[in-house]
Amino acid sequence: MRTLAIDVVTALYALALATATVMLTFVALDEGLSLAVIASLSAASAATQFVSRSLVNHLFRIATDRSIMAGSLMVLALSMLAVLVIPGLIGLLVAQLLQGISRAGFWSGSQVHVLRLGPRPERRMARNQFLSNGLAILGPILAGVMATGEPRLAAAVIAAIAIVGASECLLLTRLPLFERVPKTTDNKLWRYHGMRVGAFGTLAAGSFNAVLTTFVSIMFGDAGWAEPRTGLLIGAANAGLLVGSLAAGAIAAAFFSRTVTIATLATATGIASLACLPSLEAVSVSGVIVAGVGSGVILTLGPTLVGTTVPEALRGSSVVFAGVFRAGALFLTPLAVSAAGLVMPMPLAMLLIGVLAGSPGAVVIARRGTHE
């Protein structure tokens, strides 16, 4: 019952968020906004998530995991209310900012909750990630169906899903607050090798997610691919994410660090493989799918690794800290690619991003710390 409740809450949130993300794009197009403005709105949401991730750590000292999740679901519902009652660009901006806050709170709270429910958290995390990634694929389909009439009306349905999810949080196990820990040198998270491996892994996974959702369709389109064919490739990468999540649940704890390290390098290599376009399409296609699998492994074992590496009192801080790296990558990668694209061809820019995404993980391998 304890694990069923968190799975249900996560599934409802993932479905509502994925549907809302696409629905906001449909509303923006319906308003006649340009692609540049729509991209700026998404960047504002990513920036808010990044800042909120940096601050949410303090909530774990004053609020329970389930309270943070319930609050995040209500913030998501409020974002949909903003779209309904505030017209035009302002309503969309408010909605995107609220979604950034909601993402930071919910994913931090849910991952910490899964880790604290009992032994073998990797199996629970694998199932949890499978549900969230699977429903993230279903969300855009639901948004497309509901947008056939007035896109804004879909906001009411999404808000209802989020409110149901918030009420379901009452069924979650009430776990105690984390004890307050003095900020001394001994409590610094970065001294733990597993913390560094997990954080840099989420950095690579975040970079790939940003590349997949923004640049893969552009680059394969420039290579002459039709939209349906490109869509199948993106779907294959998302399927790889699910495979990686499931496979990660079977990994023994002794191999967490090594597995995340391999997945990090595989994900970064997958990003860099886009440099082979358009001459070696097969290499790039394989790289994108492999990166999808690697990201699935990281998103499952990354939080598990950082949470089990540190003492119990620091689990919340460790998960939030690793999440900051992912949120930062989601925000900064599109900006970095766009900036690099001004001075070099896009394939070369992808090679650079792949190297940057994988280099920190490679450094951790070369300079292993004293704590596992």
Q: What is the CATH number of the domain that holds 237?
A: 1.20.1250.20
The predicted structure's pLDDT at residue 94: 96
On whether residue 177 sits in a domain, the answer given is: no
**Same domain flag for 149 and 11:** yes
Range of the domain at 316: 189-366
On whether residue 217 sits in a domain, the answer given is: yes
On whether residue 105 sits in a domain, the answer given is: yes
Which pLDDT tens digits describe the chain residue by residue (372 residues)? 567 889 999 999 999 998 888 888 888 878 888 867 887 888 888 889 989 988 887 787 788 989 999 999 999 999 999 999 998 899 999 999 999 999 999 998 998 898 888 777 888 888 888 888 888 778 777 877 776 667 777 899 999 999 999 999 999 988 887 766 665 544 578 788 899 999 999 999 999 988 887 788 888 888 888 877 887 888 888 889 999 999 998 898 889 999 999 999 999 999 999 999 888 999 999 999 999 999 999 999 999 999 888 887 788 888 888 889 998 998 888 888 888 888 999 899 999 999 999 988 777 765 664 444
**Among all chains, which residue has been given the structure tokens 């997990």?**
198
The predicted structure's pLDDT at residue 372: 44
**Same domain flag for 125 and 199:** no
3-state secondary structure string across 176-232? CCCCCCCCCHHHCHHHEHHHHHHHHHHHHHHHHHHHHHHCHHHHHHHCCCCHHHHHH
Instruction: Please say whether the beta carbons of 163 and 78 come within 8 A.
Output: no
**Same domain flag for 252 and 141:** no
pTM above 0.85, yes or no: no
The 8-class DSSP code of residue 181 comes to -
The C-alpha atoms of residue 332 and residue 328 are separated, in whole angstroms, by: 6
Cα angle 324-328-333, degrees, rounded to a multiple of 5: 155
Query: For 110, what's the count of Cα atoms within 13 Å in the CB-facing half-sphere?
Result: 36
**Same domain flag for 50 and 162:** yes
On whether residue 36 sits in a domain, the answer given is: yes
**Same domain flag for 151 and 243:** no
The predicted structure's pLDDT at residue 366: 58
Domain boundary among 142, 171, 200: 171
Residue 317: enclosing H or E segment and its boundaries? helix 315-341
**Same domain flag for 21 and 158:** yes
Q: Give the three-class secondary structure for 252.
A: coil
The predicted structure's pLDDT at residue 365: 67
Domain boundary among 115, 138, 171: 171
**Same domain flag for 347 and 249:** yes
The C-alpha atoms of residue 262 and residue 201 are separated, in whole angstroms, by: 9
The C-alpha atoms of residue 67 and residue 13 are separated, in whole angstroms, by: 14
On whether residue 354 sits in a domain, the answer given is: yes
Q: What is the largest CA-CA distance in the chain?
A: 59
On whether residue 74 sits in a domain, the answer given is: yes
Q: Distances from the Cα of 2 to the Cαs of 9, 10, 133, 312, in angstroms?
A: 11, 13, 21, 19
Q: Distances from the Cα of 150 to the Cαs of 113, 145, 343, in angstroms?
A: 37, 11, 42
Instruction: Please say whether the beta carbons of 306 and 91 come within 8 A.
Output: no
On whether residue 316 sits in a domain, the answer given is: yes
Q: Who contacts 310 (Cβ-Cβ below 8 Å, separation ≥6)?
A: 189, 192, 194, 195, 317, 318
**Same domain flag for 135 and 212:** no
**Among all chains, which residue has been given the structure tokens 């409020």?**
78
**Residue 303 carries which side chain, given as an amino acid letter?**
P
The 8-class DSSP code of residue 76 comes to H
Domain boundary among 140, 171, 202: 171
**Same domain flag for 199 and 116:** no
The predicted structure's pLDDT at residue 356: 92
**Same domain flag for 344 and 275:** yes
On whether residue 178 sits in a domain, the answer given is: no
For the chain, the domain total comes to 2
**Same domain flag for 66 and 145:** yes
* C-alpha torsion sign, points 173, 243, 349, 25: negative
**Same domain flag for 100 and 220:** no
